[in-house]
Amino acid sequence: MGDTITTPKAASRRSTPAARGGRPRRRKLTFDRVTFFLAFLGIPLTVFVLFVLYPFVQAIYWAMTDWSGYSSDYNFVGLDNFTKMFEDDVFLKALRNVALLAAFVPLVTLSLSLGVAVAITLGGPSKGPVRGIGGASFYRVISFFPYVVPAIIVGLIWAQMFDPNAGLINGFLTSLGLDGFDAFAWLGEESTAMPALMFVFVWGLVGFYAVLFIAAIKGVPAELYEAARIDGAGRFRMTISVTLPSIRDSVQTAYIYLGIAALDAFVFVQALLPNGGPNNSTLTISQHLFTTAFRKGQFGYATAMGVVLAVVTLVFAALVFTVNRLTGGGEEKSSARGFFKGRRAGAKGGAL
C-alpha cells in the first residue's frame, strides 16, 4: 500500500508558505474587506481625530497665545502662559483643592456605595441560599434617587440647606440643643466649606455607584458565595474574599470616573460656592478657568489651564491603572475561586 498517514507531529514539521517564502502572503483587498475597514475602522477613527485629537491639538496651540477670545488678533507667546500659571498662587491653590477632592471623594463615595450594594444583595438571611434583604428593589430606587436630580439642582438645594439663618441644617442642630450652630455659616468658614462640598458631592453620586455595584455583584457566580458559606465565612469575609475580587474591574472604572468628576467639580462648586469659597478654599481649576476666560477675557491663559487639567486627568487615570496592575489586577477572579478550595483543604472554617 502506498498510502501514508500524516500524523499531527509530521504535519507540524511541514513547511508553511510563510516559512518557504520568508514572508506571509498578503490577502487580496476585496471590496468586502475594504468596505468593512472603512465602516468599522475608518469612520470611527475619522470622528475621533476630528472631534477629540484635533480640538486637543488646537487647544495646545491657543494655550501658547495671548488670545482674548473676542478678537481675531493675538500674539504667539510660547510657554509664557504655563510659566505664569505655576507662579500664580490662585491657580496653585485650585490645583491643591482638586487634588484633595480627587483623593477623598472617590474613596468615600465608593466605600459607601459598596457598603450599600453589599447590604442590599448579600444582607439577607444567614441560612439557605445567599440573597439580598427584603424589599431590595425599594432600597435601590431610594439610593438612586439623588442621581436622578440634576447636579445644579442638588447644589442649589444644599446651598439653602446650609444657609446660616434659615437653613435646615442649623435649625435641626439647634433643636437638639447645640446653640453653637445658631447662624453658623457652613459655606462661609474656611474649615467647613470644603467638607461641606465633599458631603454634597458624595451625597449626589453615591446612589448611582451603589446601583452599578449591585448590578456587578449580581453577575458574580452564586456557587462562590455558596462555597464561602459552607466554609464558614461570614458576610465581611465573603465581601473581602469573593465580592471585591470579582467586581474589581467595575471598581476600577468607577474610581476613574469619580476621579475625573472630582477633578472637574464645576457644577457642584458653582452652585454652592460660586466665588471659590472663603480664601479660595474650594476654588477648582475649572472654576478659575471659567472666571479667567469669560470675566477677564484671557482665553489663551484659560486654555493653558484646560490643557494642564487634561494632563492631570490623564495622569490620574494612568495611576489608577498602574496601581490596579501592580496589586494583581486581572488575577483576582481566579484567586477568589481558589481561595475557598484552599481553605477547605487546609484550615478549618469558622464564621468571621
Q: What is the pLDDT of residues 68-96, one digit of tens each?
A: 888 888 999 999 999 999 999 999 999 99
235 band by pLDDT with thresholds 50, 70 and 90:
confident
Question: For residues 94 and 285, is the Cβ–Cβ distance under 8 A?
Answer: yes
pLDDT at 223 over 70: yes
312 band by pLDDT with thresholds 50, 70 and 90:
very high
Residue 113 carries which side chain, given as an amino acid letter? S
pLDDT at 197 over 50: yes
Confidence (pTM): 0.79
Q: What CA–CA distances, in Å, run from 160 to 156, 178, 185?
A: 6, 20, 11
Residue 213 carries which side chain, given as an amino acid letter? F
Higher pLDDT: 321 or 136? It is: 321
What is the pLDDT, as a whole number, of residue 12? 47
Smallest Cα–Cα separation from 104: which of 198, 190, 206?
A: 198
Q: Which range (130-134, 163-167, 175-179) has the least confidence?
A: 130-134
Nearest-5° angle of CA 197, CA 198, CA 200?
65
**pLDDT, tens only, 102-147:** 999 999 999 999 999 988 888 766 666 667 777 777 888 888 888 8
What is the pLDDT, as a whole number, of residue 331? 56
Residue 102 carries which side chain, given as an amino acid letter? A
What is the pLDDT, as a whole number, of residue 99? 94
SS3 188: coil
351 band by pLDDT with thresholds 50, 70 and 90:
very low
What is the pLDDT, as a whole number, of residue 349? 42
Which backbone phi and psi does 76 adopt, to 5 degrees?
-80, 120
Question: For residues 122 and 239, is the Cβ–Cβ distance under 8 A?
Answer: yes
Mean of pLDDT values over 2-30: 54
Dist CA 87 CA 65 (whole Å): 18
Q: Radius of gyration over alpha carbons of the chain, in Å?
A: 28
- Whole-number average pLDDT of the chain: 83
List CB contacts of 166: < 8 A, sequence separation 6 or more.
160
Dist CA 284 CA 219 (whole Å): 38
Percentage of the chain beyond pLDDT 90 is 50
SS3 350: coil
Which backbone phi and psi does 330 adopt, to 5 degrees?
90, -15
Higher pLDDT: 347 or 161? It is: 161
What is the pLDDT, as a whole number, of residue 180? 84
What is the pLDDT, as a whole number, of residue 139? 80
Higher pLDDT: 15 or 217? It is: 217
20 band by pLDDT with thresholds 50, 70 and 90:
low
pLDDT at 241 over 80: yes
CA dihedral (102, 103, 109, 110) in degrees, to 10, reads 110
51 band by pLDDT with thresholds 50, 70 and 90:
very high
38 band by pLDDT with thresholds 50, 70 and 90:
confident
Higher pLDDT: 215 or 351? It is: 215
Helix 151-161 and helix 190-218: axis angle, to 10°? 140
What is the pLDDT, as a whole number, of residue 128? 60
212 band by pLDDT with thresholds 50, 70 and 90:
very high
Number of alpha carbons in the 13 Å side-chain half-sphere of residue 231: 25
Higher pLDDT: 172 or 5? It is: 172
Question: For residues 105 and 209, is the Cβ–Cβ distance under 8 A?
Answer: no
Count the helix, strand and coil residues of the chain and give each as a percent rounded to the nearest 5: 70, 0, 30
Q: What CA–CA distances, in Å, run from 75 to 67, 81, 122, 303?
A: 7, 12, 62, 14
